[in-house]
Amino acid sequence: MSTQNTAPATTPVTGSASGRTQQIRRYLMCRPEHFTVSYTINPWMEPANPTDTALAVRQWQALYDTYIALGHEVHLIDPIEGLPDMVYTANGGFVIDNVAYGAKFRFQERVPEGPAFMDWFRDNGFEVAEPVEVNEGEGDFLLVGDTILAGTGFRSTGDSHRELGDVFGKEVVSLTLVDPRFYHLDTAISVLDPVEGPGGVEKANIAYLEHAFDERSQAILAERYPDAIRVADADGAVFGLNSASDGLNVIISPRATGFEAQLRERGYNPVLVDLSELLLGGGGIKCCTLELRR
């Protein structure tokens, strides 16, 4: 599964004839200096399989370097020994308008990460909203236009969706995940554009894996996003949807070849970054990337 080639396979760009517009983002990342798989809290984690921490760091560095090359602003939280999943910063909170709603992890192995991220938010000038309900941050909460899509089924509880709405005063649309391989919402939906279309009509600004959701959620997604990219199971299974987009460049797994072609057809610029070693912990590009919306 692992490869020594960590350089992006596609060149990032900042302008496009397709009319897609890049938006500069602010991200929080955490270097995987202590990455290993020593417990199992998702189907991807097999402690018996060896992990290569040095390779994980090199692959992570390629992702970091890609963001910098694109002009994005990347902040770092210090890794903590004994918390190998801290590299998956997307799970550490959800940030809109300088307000950080903290994470409250389901599994005991990750519980100490919550306070560490909350301390970082406070120390860096964010207004902090302490969580009461179990939630795993941007792993299960995705901002699409002025709407928050919120996942439940495996990690974040439905009650956290209500709490989320109270904190941010935005519409929260609950979606239920049913396939344990796709235990967070950001493994089954990719937000491609951050804005709504004219008059508030939502554009084709997401991609998703239909069969990761129950029938009710599938119907909601089909109604709200009729022109969304529907990704094949083969691309979902390699965490192709666990991606990051700036509205033009979409950083994805090099193994998600079908999704890559779909993105090109829609005028996006796929940028291929291999995080195969970090997938051993059940995380990919988006998992390693928390957006800091000021």
Q: Total domain count for the chain?
A: 1
User: Which residue range is the domain that position 93 belongs to?
Assistant: 26-291
Q: Which of 30, 72, 161, 287 is catalytic?
A: 287
Of the listed 72, 184, 211, 288, which one is catalytic? 184
Note whether residue 1 is domain-resident.
no
Residue range 127-141, pLDDT digits in tens: 999 999 999 999 999
User: 15 in a domain, yes or no?
Assistant: no
pLDDT in tens, 45-94: 889 888 999 999 999 999 999 999 999 999 999 999 999 999 999 999 99
Name the pTM for this structure: 0.92
Q: Is 287 a catalytic residue?
A: yes
CATH code, 33: 3.75.10.10
The answer to the question of residue 207 being in a domain is yes
- 12 in a domain, yes or no? no
Question: Does the active-site annotation cover 184?
Answer: yes
Q: Which of 151, 249, 150 is nearest to 193 (CA)?
A: 249
Residue 257 lies in a domain: yes
pLDDT at 35: 94
pLDDT for the residue 42: 82
Is residue 174 assigned to a domain?
A: yes
| Chain segment 205-254, per-residue pLDDT in tens | 899 999 999 999 999 999 999 999 999 999 999 999 999 999 999 999 99
Q: In this structure, is residue 9 part of a structural domain?
A: no
Q: 54 in a domain, yes or no?
A: yes
